[in-house]
Amino acid sequence: MIKVNGLWHSYSKDNIYAVKNVTFGVEKGEIFGFLGPSGAGKSTTQGILTGLLPLQKGEVYVGGYDLKKPCDDMFNIIGVSFEQPNVYGKLTAVENLEFFARLYDVPVNDPMHLLKMVGLENDAKKKASEFSKGMKQRLVFARSMLNNPEIWFLDEPTAGLDPATAGRIKEIIRDRNKKGTTIFLTTHNMYVADELCDRVAFINDGEIVLIDSPRNLKLKYGDRLVEVEYREEGELIKETFSITDDNERQKLTRLIASGNIETMHTKEATLEEIFIKVTGRGLK
């Protein structure tokens, strides 16, 4: 659904590139995470994919549309949820959605239904300027579903939301993905990416440094260790065992059999740890 080949972009149109030779593909029905710290080139890449930035160098196909020859029809099959809560403050929530609904050439979802999905049905007739940042964020998210997009670009969809609302949003994303929507998720939140994505790409200084499924990355870069807390003669002991070493594995088996274990955690690496390991910098 998305094909990017040798993408370069320079804002100053010189040799200073925000995106350098980026190449990747996203299959139909996949949730593809684009992970990187601020300034890594995530937004630039998404800006080009969504037609908001011009394609300077490279090949980009979105839903079969060649972005070298921009076509307004492409926007009927994509949805974009911005990180910035960009809504019309003087219009109500429902008026915001009704306005955007009139811009599409394809059947659109009922604005009230979308507001209900994101928990804004009771605020539908309130001006968006009176909304909190989280409410505006949900309105932007609802707006991006108006045209039932085949390809859905989500930029930090859960940023600034409380855990319950963030959970609801993640549920909607999973649900739409199950129905076949391809999702391009831009985030620096490794937990969201880990939870939702089939594959993730790490971007750093404008270059993609890794692409794989979160599971494969964790297996490849994580230590195969188990951390255990157990009691022995009244004392709480914390110990780490390698599950690749025969002796340590046998010791762990004996410990499990003793029934003294209080907590036990596998020590696979988080996506953030992998990112730091690969790039030498954090995701924030």
Interface residue list for another protein (CB under 8 A): 50-52, 72-73, 75-76, 78, 80, 82, 84, 86-91, 95, 99-100, 102-105, 127, 140, 143
Q: Are 199 and 30 in contact (CB under 8 A)?
A: yes
Do 7 and 26 contact (CB within 8 A), yes or no? no
Taking the least distance from each CB to another protein, the nearer of 108 and 217 is: 108
Cα dist. 257→82, 234, 250, 251, 266 in Å?
A: 52, 18, 11, 10, 18
Minimum CB distance to another protein smaller for 127 or for 251: 127
Nearer of residues 51 and 111 to another protein, judged by Cβ: 51
Residue 164 makes CB contacts below 8 A (sequence gap 6+) with none
Q: Whole-number minimum distance, CB 131 to another protein, in Å?
A: 12
Q: Which residues are CB-neighbours of 125 under 8 A, at least 6 positions away?
A: 92, 93, 94
Helix (H) or strand (E) holding 236: strand 235-242
58 or 85, CB closer to another protein?
A: 85
- By beta-carbon proximity to another protein, the closer residue of 126 and 267 is 126
Least Å distance, CB 31 to another protein, is 20
Q: How far is the CB of 58 from another protein (least distance, A)?
A: 20
State both tokens at 124: 């539908």
- Closest approach of another protein to the CB of residue 165, in Å: 21
